[in-house]
Amino acid sequence: MSASTPTRGTAPVGLSKGEARTYASYARPAWQRWLLTRETAVILLLAVVFVWATSSVPNFDGPLTLYYLFLDLMPILLIALPMTLVIITGEIDLSVASTVVLTSAVTGLLTVDAGWGFGQAALVAIAVGALCGLFNGFLVGYVGLPSLAVTIGTLALYRGIAVGLLGTEAKTGFPEEWTDRVKERIGETSYPQVLVVFGVLAVVFVLLLHFSGFGRGVYEIGLNDEAARFSGVDVARTKLLLFVLAGAVSGLAGVYYTLRYDLARGDAANGLELQVIAAVLLGGVSIFGGRGALHGVVAGVLLIGVISSAMRLQGETENVTTIVIGLLLIASVVTPSLLSWVSGRLPAGVKGASARSRRT
């Protein structure tokens, strides 16, 4: 076995009928290809939940709800962008939350202890994040190690370095002009200004994934990395670049985290990596790679945000929200298999219509 082939994601036991790893059927009319997708389903669900919350959850339509919703979701929204690309290549990055903590620690040490200007410190932090990603990407892309194992290692390593640098201390007292800037709103609306940063990044990632040759390569790798190599995609370099992007964006999220809570400490962002991955998968990205789109992922993140925010306003505890999100994640991946199992038992006439649901 060559050095780079065994890096398939946690390949499942059920994936052997060969139905999952193909492009969408281009035999279908365009409107069906566009509308009958996982992404549409998530967006519809988001719309339904949003309408329900606005109409029947008290205070959901208040001016503060969306504002805090976006502030709270921002790290997940940001990191979900590069994570989508990483998962579409069939890899995974579990080290993003640790990168957030490490870069937050770097920001704290440089600004509070060393007296740097915050702008410079933030740039260094983002560079540190990119470096973390570079290390992951080198081991996965060029050494050919499984990303699951590598990033479990760097998950411990990066957070370990952050805790080692900070000890039990927490850095606080960041310049107020910066901490205020994070919380400012766009004009008189209830949207925070940081949404603009997310918007710009989202456009960049959409162009990169859906409208560039590089993005086609990302899908190729996820569908079959050997075929991708033969068709001229530089598999190792693509993976390296995606991990660097994931690291750099996590660095940005780390800077945001620091400012939002005016705090840099070693136990921040615990479990954030799994929240990001859950949101990405809920948004219709296949863990096997080769399938998924950014509009679905953004809808997936927002869906989680709206559900938790609405349930909190209804007086439900965090725990119930956790259960609902877990069930939603399971349902979203089990439904296609369930549909195809059902369609297998239906008479032949109905089969054509339901066979499409076998994809995903």
Partner 1 sequence: MSATLAPPSTGGAPSGSGAPGAGGRVRAALGHALRSREIAVAVVLVLVVAAATARNDSFLLSGDGWRDLLLTPSILLLLAAGQMLVIVTRSVDLSVGSTMALTAYLTGRLFIDQPGLPIPVVVLAGVAMGALLGVVNGVLVAYAGVPALVITLGTMYVYRGAMLSWAGSDRITADQMPKDFLSLGTSSLVGIPVLTILALLVVAAVGYYLHTARSGRELYAIGSDPDAARLYGLKVPTRVLTAFVLCGALAGLAGVLHAARYGSVSSSVGNGIELQAVGAAVIGGVAIFGGSGTVWGAAIGAVLLVTINRALPILGIPEFWQRAVVGALILGAVVLDRLLAARRARRLDEERED
| Residues making contact with partner 1 (CB under 8 A) | 1, 3, 6, 8-16, 92, 94, 139, 143-146, 148-150, 152-161, 163-164, 166-168, 266, 270-271, 274, 277-278, 281, 287-288, 317-323, 325-327, 329-330, 333-334, 337-338
CB of 188 to partner 1, least distance (A): 37
Q: Where are the beta strands (DSSP E) in 217-340?
A: 263-264
Q: How far apart (Å, rounded) are the C-alpha atoms in residues 111 and 184?
A: 21
C-beta closer to partner 1: residue 9 or 215: 9
Residue 89 burial by CB count (10 A; 0-12/13-18/19+): exposed, middle or buried?
A: buried
CB of 162 to partner 1, least distance (A): 9
Closest listed residue to residue 244, CA positions, set 121, 91, 77, 71: 91
C-beta closer to partner 1: residue 323 or 346: 323
Closest listed residue to residue 291, CA positions, set 106, 14, 13, 21: 21
CB of 92 to partner 1, least distance (A): 8
Structure tokens that stand for 112 in this block: 């509070």
Q: How far apart (Å, rounded) are the C-alpha atoms in residues 301 and 153?
A: 26
CB of 55 to partner 1, least distance (A): 26
CB of 207 to partner 1, least distance (A): 28
Q: How far apart (Å, rounded) are the C-alpha atoms in residues 199 and 88?
A: 21
DSSP annotation of 4: T
Q: Which residues pair with 192 in a beta bridge?
A: 185
Count of CA atoms in the C-beta half-sphere (13 A) of 227:
12
Phi, then psi, of 192 in degrees rounded to 5:
-75, 155
C-beta closer to partner 1: residue 66 or 302: 302
**260 within 8 A of 182, measured Cβ to Cβ:** yes
C-beta closer to partner 1: residue 179 or 335: 335
Q: For the chain, what is the total number of helices (H) and then of strands (E)?
A: 15, 2
CB of 11 to partner 1, least distance (A): 6
C-beta closer to partner 1: residue 217 or 290: 290
CB of 101 to partner 1, least distance (A): 11
Q: Which helix (H) or strand (E) holds 138?
A: none
Using left for φ > 0, alpha for ψ between -120 and 50, and beta otherwise, residue 289 falls in left
C-beta closer to partner 1: residue 206 or 339: 339
Q: Following DSSP, what letter does each residue of 12-27 receive, concatenated?
A: -TTTTSS-SSSPPPTT
CB of 159 to partner 1, least distance (A): 6
Q: How far apart (Å, rounded) are the C-alpha atoms in residues 222 and 146?
A: 14
CB of 323 to partner 1, least distance (A): 4
Q: Using only the alpha carbons of the chain, give its radius of gyration.
A: 21
